[in-house]
Each structure stands twice: as C-alpha cells, then as structure tokens.
Structure 1
Amino acid sequence: NPLFTFDSIEGHIKEGKIYDSQKSTFNPDLIGRLREQGNQTMIEVYNKDAVIKNYSRVGRISEDGIIYAGNSSFSEKRIGSVEENSVYMDGAYGRIDHKKIGYADEK
C-alpha cells in the first residue's frame, strides 16, 4: 500500500482514503482522505473525536505535484512533491536534500 506521511500522520492510501499504517491491516483507523477539487488534490484529516465528525483540510497536492501544508492558501508552505508516483518530503534545505518517503497510487 502507498505510504503517506504528512506532519504526524503516517498512513497508507486506499481508494482515496488515508488509513493509519501503525494499526493492523485488518482494522486500520481512518485518518483522512484525498479529495479532488478542480485540478488539485486536497489532503484532509478526519476528526473522529469532534462533536460533528468532519474532515478538515491540512494541505493539498497541486496539479504539478507539489505538496503544500496549510489549511488555506494564505498560510500554506511547500513541504514536498510527488514525482513519478514517488513521494518526497523536503528536507531542512528544501528541495536539495528532499528524501523519498513512499509512493502514491496512480490516479
């Protein structure tokens, strides 16, 4: 399964849903989802402990494969990229030392 790491989230993606990769594969916790919006993919975290269970945006993947963190376009910053289905997180020096942390399913 594709690995997905975002801040403290570590999981795998199955059919657009993000599941906790620390849990057993038989009953993994749902921790988020990818949602298509126009030509971008929103990354949303599932708030299961909220009074009204909902998803909140934590980032997005742009059309050209750049991963941005932040819940609005004003507060976001680039944290990585998806290139040829590999997922890279930017390191301390940005793109120069970004490291591969997993791969993403083809859309």
Structure 2
Amino acid sequence: MSRTVGARTADPCPRCFLEAARPGKPMTVEGRDVVGYVCDHCANAWTRPVEGDVEVYDTVRVDLADATLYGTVWQVEAGRVQVRSTGGERLLWVERWRVIVY
C-alpha cells in the first residue's frame, strides 16, 4: 500500500521505483484534467487522470501537501470532495484532483 514519505507523493516513480516524486500539480493535457508528477531522482515526468467518478462511501487516498490521508468520501461537489479519515477523527474538504479512488 502507498505511504507518505515526508513532502513526497505516496507512490514511487514508475521508472526508477524510488519514492522521490514531488506532490502532483493539476494541469490540462490534450483537453483532459490530469495531475502531473516529477521524480526528484531520475527527472521522469508522468500524469494520472483526475478521478471523475468519485461517489459517496468510496474508499480514497488524498494526497495533501504535507501528508497522505486515507478515508471515506462523505460528500461530493463539482470541484471538491469531503473525506472522513479512516479513524474518523478528521473530516475535511479537498480539491477533487487530490483524490485517488481505491
């Protein structure tokens, strides 16, 4: 399972497999909303699509600037999602591009 490594993304680089990728940034590529990543180790760049089918009660991972949150979707709006952390002690709104459905 993915994990947080300091100020890095929870997933390793698909080229070198080191957990040295910077947090993603939202962007548009060929008319699609994606999240772009860059590896600090090998400079590989890659993207993933922004989740479009997020629904209430989905299990998700949220890549925050300083941590990775795992939890359940509580509410969904056009550009943001409310997530309750796995332990239930945290409930917050995050931008949709930060959410990855598990």
TM-score in same-fold range (> 0.5): no
Q: Which has the higher contact order (CA 8 A, sep 6+)?
A: 2
TM-score range (shorter-chain normalised) is 0.3 to 0.5
TM-score between the two structures when normalised by the length of structure 1: 0.32
